[in-house]
Amino acid sequence: MKNLLIAIALLLSVSLTAQVAVFHPVKIPQNQIEKFLEVETNYSQKVAQDAVNKGNLVWWALMKSFNTTADDYNFMWVNVYKDIDATVAPSSNWWTNSEDVVGVKPQLLYDGWSGGKADRRYFYQIKQQIDSGEEGKFVIFNFASPKNIDKVISDSKNYVAPRFKKVMKSAGMTGWGYATKITPQGENYASFMTYDAFDSMTNLMKHLSGEGAAMKSLDLDKLERIDWESRYVLEIVSSTSSN
């Protein structure tokens, strides 16, 4: 009976979701980073938090890329919406409400780092996620285009999620999830993504090296092989809190 109750509690803590995550990388010139961070942490975060409080947004974060070159995108915005409808509703452009929230018009607020170069936005539908209840500080985003996507999703749901959930606290893992691409699509774009959030860079590096408790909990021979096309490490600089 005890084992049954533990299993039920574990299943209840693994969330199935249809939320949509929108990734928007940007490259900020070195001489504008200070102004950019001032705007994002003191103003944009407050405008995003207002959107969360109103139910127009689930979560927002500004993340800083780790180990970049001069040509790389060095920051990324992450916007999470409750569903596809919310991503195309007028309220999805929550940043245009800055004058009402912080008293500054959008064109004035963001003028200080107008030399930045923004990439296109990447839309992923989150299929499942687990959460330790602790705040994450660093995140790995893993991108791939598996040939047998249905098997990968099945493995992620039925094997990886329960095992990660059991050991995530001992591994310093604060969250994990997987998602499928909505747009853009094509041979140059990954169709599948997972994320691993951690409480420290040390635990993140252990996970990447295969030494972390989460990776050690997996029998990789039981899983469909995934050839990761890219794996990015980012630090969470600023984010909203739950409503």
How far is the C-alpha of 213 from the C-alpha of 196, rounded, in Å? 13
Task: Decide if pLDDT at 1 tops 70.
Answer: no
pLDDT of residue 144: 97
pLDDT of residue 242: 78
Is residue 61 within 8 A of residue 230, CB to CB? The reply is no
Range from 8-17, 71-80, 87-96, 97-106 carrying the lowest mean pLDDT? 8-17
Residue 233 lies inside a defined structural domain of this protein: yes
Of 98, 118, 138, the position where a domain reaches its end is 118
Task: Give me the chain's average pLDDT, please.
Answer: 90
pLDDT of residue 109: 78
Residue 76 lies inside a defined structural domain of this protein: yes
Task: Decide if pLDDT at 7 tops 80.
Answer: no
Range from 8-17, 174-183, 185-194, 229-238 carrying the lowest mean pLDDT? 8-17
Is residue 182 within 8 A of residue 146, CB to CB? The reply is no
Query: Which residue range(s) make up the domain with 94?
Result: 20-118
Same domain, 114 and 141: no
Range from 70-79, 93-102, 110-119, 232-241 carrying the lowest mean pLDDT? 110-119
Same domain, 138 and 233: yes
pLDDT band at 15 (very low <50, low <70, confident <90, very high): low
Same domain, 137 and 230: yes
Residue 124 lies inside a defined structural domain of this protein: no
Burial 50-66 (b: 16+ CB within 10 A, else e): bbbeeebbbbbbbbbbe
Residue 125 lies inside a defined structural domain of this protein: no
Number of domains in the chain: 2
Is residue 183 within 8 A of residue 125, CB to CB? The reply is no
Residue 123 lies inside a defined structural domain of this protein: no
User: Which long-range contacts link 145-153 to residues 24+ away (Cβ below 8 Å)?
Assistant: 145/187, 145/189, 145/190, 145/191, 145/192, 145/229, 146/191, 146/192, 146/224, 146/226, 148/224, 149/180, 149/191, 149/192, 151/224, 152/192, 152/224, 152/226, 153/127, 153/178, 153/180
Mean pLDDT, range 171-182, rounded to an integer: 97
pLDDT of residue 116: 77
Is residue 50 within 8 A of residue 238, CB to CB? The reply is no
Same domain, 135 and 226: yes
pLDDT tens-digit series, residues 74-94: 999 999 999 999 999 999 999
How far is the C-alpha of 214 from the C-alpha of 59, rounded, in Å? 25
Q: Which residues are bridge partners to 96 per DSSP?
A: none
pLDDT of residue 143: 98
pLDDT band at 16 (very low <50, low <70, confident <90, very high): low
- The CATH number of the domain holding residue 72 is 3.30.70.100
Residue 52 lies inside a defined structural domain of this protein: yes
Task: Decide if pLDDT at 61 tops 70.
Answer: yes
Same domain, 105 and 84: yes
pLDDT of residue 107: 83
